[in-house]
């Protein structure tokens, strides 16, 4: 029986990963969350993990009392999450949201554990660090993000050296077709109303600003060792073609399916095998048309901010990511306007210094500095 650990098990991806685990009877080694005590208690009673960790110390204390009739050990804090990440298991699925996923990812890689990665911020902030460590430890990083899973699937059986370009598809989010003027006063509620995917709050706002596609461009650079200039983005409103790969002969391979994250989650856990899925079958005749068009790079300026950050290299992608994490949070708290998110990312990239070579400490310090800069700017 396959053994997996899930970091961020109480979130949107985490719960869908447990659907897949339930269907295939996987054994759960460890689960972690920030503070969702009720949900993780239910998960412990169903899946009997050896260890769980909650970042929030108070919540961890509460959980210890609640589950004292079980054999599961409860840990607390970031060190508790890293202790879970270090446990021996077949695959560690990281579905933590944000930079907080970086340290546990590196911990698991250093233990030689295969990674199924949903937590894109990890690759954006520490791409060189993560991929170099994975290479050194001979550890595979399998993509969970639907676009990257589609590219990974479209690369099977072909030569990497014969890839001409990657084409990332984007739903366009709730504000597709809007002008800058239209977006001046949009509310958090409007930004959270994603047309095709039900996801956590942070990534849903990232989809509305299209920062998500910028982060995914950087994620693709690290996952597939391509240049930023070899990645194109197309808005595809129906979210059926999950991404494409063009080869030297101009043949284009794509992966299609209904929008359901359990497909890419499962593929990352069963690769290279394919099994029965909890997702619905795709019936193309249900879709009158599939459309593709260029993004509006002026209105959704976050995409090119990310592209420039990865072209400049060093810590610039980390700065863009951390500025966005903070600005995204401030928007959700009603403290800034929607368009200020991208403005704050641009300002952080202009004002904060990078360096070419970096360590984990450098990334964590830059994260702190950038978030303080954004907070002080509003």
155 phi and psi, to 5 degrees? Answer: -90, -15
The answer to the question of residue 145 lying near Mg ion (CB under 5 A) is yes
Strand, coil or helix: what is 284?
A: helix
The 10 Å Cβ neighbour count of residue 121 is: 28
Alpha-carbon span 132 to 127, nearest angstrom: 8
The answer to the question of residue 11 lying near ligand NDP (CB under 6 A) is yes
Q: Which stretch binds ligand NDP (CB under 6 A): 5-13, 160-168, 182-190, 278-286?
A: 5-13
The answer to the question of residue 261 lying near ligand NDP (CB under 6 A) is yes
Paired with 253 in beta bridges are: 245
- Which DSSP state fits 333? T
Alpha-carbon span 47 to 42, nearest angstrom: 9
The answer to the question of residue 260 lying near Mg ion (CB under 5 A) is no
The answer to the question of residue 10 lying near ligand NDP (CB under 6 A) is yes
Q: Which stretch binds ligand NDP (CB under 6 A): 93-101, 153-161, 310-318, 365-373?
A: 93-101
- Residue (72 or 207) nearer to Mg ion, CB: 207
Q: Which long-range contacts (CB under 8 A, 24 or more apart) does 103-107 make?
A: 103/78, 103/360, 103/364, 104/7, 104/32, 105/130, 106/130, 106/133, 106/360, 107/82
7 phi and psi, to 5 degrees? Answer: -95, 130
Residue 65: is it exposed, middle or buried by C-beta count within 10 angstroms (0-12/13-18/19+)? exposed
The answer to the question of residue 14 lying near ligand NDP (CB under 6 A) is yes
The answer to the question of residue 174 lying near ligand NDP (CB under 6 A) is no
The answer to the question of residue 141 lying near ligand NDP (CB under 6 A) is no
Alpha-carbon span 321 to 99, nearest angstrom: 8
The answer to the question of residue 279 lying near ligand NDP (CB under 6 A) is no
Q: Which stretch binds ligand NDP (CB under 6 A): 82-90, 114-122, 160-168, 354-362?
A: 114-122
Q: Which stretch binds ligand NDP (CB under 6 A): 85-93, 96-104, 184-192, 229-237?
A: 96-104
The answer to the question of residue 302 lying near ligand NDP (CB under 6 A) is no
The answer to the question of residue 121 lying near Mg ion (CB under 5 A) is no
Report DSSP letters for 197-257, one per residue. ----HHHHHHHHHTHHHHHHHHHHHHHHT--GGGEEEEE-TT--EEEEEEETTS-EEEEE-
Q: Which of 114, 121, 219, 246 binds ligand NDP (CB under 6 A)?
A: 121
- Residue (144 or 339) nearer to ligand NDP, CB: 144
- Residue (84 or 240) nearer to Mg ion, CB: 240
Smallest separation (angstroms) from Mg ion to the CB of 170:
8
The answer to the question of residue 143 lying near ligand NDP (CB under 6 A) is no
Alpha-carbon span 142 to 275, nearest angstrom: 17
The answer to the question of residue 149 lying near ligand NDP (CB under 6 A) is no
Strand, coil or helix: what is 165?
A: strand
The answer to the question of residue 207 lying near ligand NDP (CB under 6 A) is no
Residue 356: is it exposed, middle or buried by C-beta count within 10 angstroms (0-12/13-18/19+)? exposed
Smallest separation (angstroms) from ligand NDP to the CB of 35:
4
- Residue (247 or 258) nearer to ligand NDP, CB: 258
Nearest to 144 by CA among 28, 14, 22: 14
- Residue (247 or 364) nearer to ligand NDP, CB: 364
Contacts with Mg ion by CB under 5 A lie at: 145-147
Contacts with ligand NDP by CB under 6 A lie at: 8-14, 33-36, 55, 81, 95-97, 100, 118-121, 145, 197, 199-200, 202-203, 261
């Amino acid at each position: 029986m396959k053994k997996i650990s899930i970091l961020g098990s109480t979130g949107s991806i985490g719960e869908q990963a447990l659907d897949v685990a339930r269907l295939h009877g996987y054994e759960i080694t460890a689960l972690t969350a920030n503070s969702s005590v009720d949900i993780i208690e239910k998960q412990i009673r169903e899946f009997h993990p050896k260890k769980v960790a909650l970042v929030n110390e108070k919540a961890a204390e509460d959980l210890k009392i609640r589950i004292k009739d079980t054999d599961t050990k409860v840990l607390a804090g970031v060190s508790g999450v890293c202790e879970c990440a270090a446990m021996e298991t077949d695959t560690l699925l990281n579905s933590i949201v944000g930079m907080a996923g970086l340290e546990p990812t590196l911990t698991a890689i250093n233990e030689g554990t295969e990674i199924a990665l949903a937590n894109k911020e990890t690759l954006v902030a520490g791409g060189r660090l993560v991929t170099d460590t994975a290479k050194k430890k001979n550890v595979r990083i399998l993509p969970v993000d639907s676009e990257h899973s589609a590219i990974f699937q479209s690369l099977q059986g072909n030569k990497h050296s014969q890839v001409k370009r990657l084409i990332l598809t984007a739903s366009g989010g709730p504000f597709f077709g809007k002008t800058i003027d239209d977006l001046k006063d949009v509310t958090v509620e409007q930004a959270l109303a994603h047309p095709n995917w039900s996801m956590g709050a942070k990534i849903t706002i990232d989809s509305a600003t299209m920062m998500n596609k910028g982060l995914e461009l950087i994620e693709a650079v690290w996952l597939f060792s391509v240049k930023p200039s070899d990645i194109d983005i197309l808005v595809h409103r129906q979210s059926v073609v999950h991404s494409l790969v063009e080869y030297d002969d101009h043949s284009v391979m794509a992966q299609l399916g209904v929008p359901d994250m359990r497909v890419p989650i499962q593929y990352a856990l069963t690769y290279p095998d394919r099994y029965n899925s909890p997702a619905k079958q795709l019936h193309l005749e249900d879709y009158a048309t599939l459309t593709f068009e260029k993004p509006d790079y002026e209105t959704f300026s976050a995409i090119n901010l990310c592209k420039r950050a990865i072209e400049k290299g060093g810590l610039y992608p980390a700065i863009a990511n951390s500025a966005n994490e903070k600005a995204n949070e401030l928007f959700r708290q009603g403290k800034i306007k929607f368009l200020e998110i991208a403005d704050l990312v641009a300002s952080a990239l202009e004002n904060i210094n990078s360096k070419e070579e970096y360590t984990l400490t450098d990334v964590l310090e830059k994260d702190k500095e950038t978030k303080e800069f954004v907070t002080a700017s509003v």
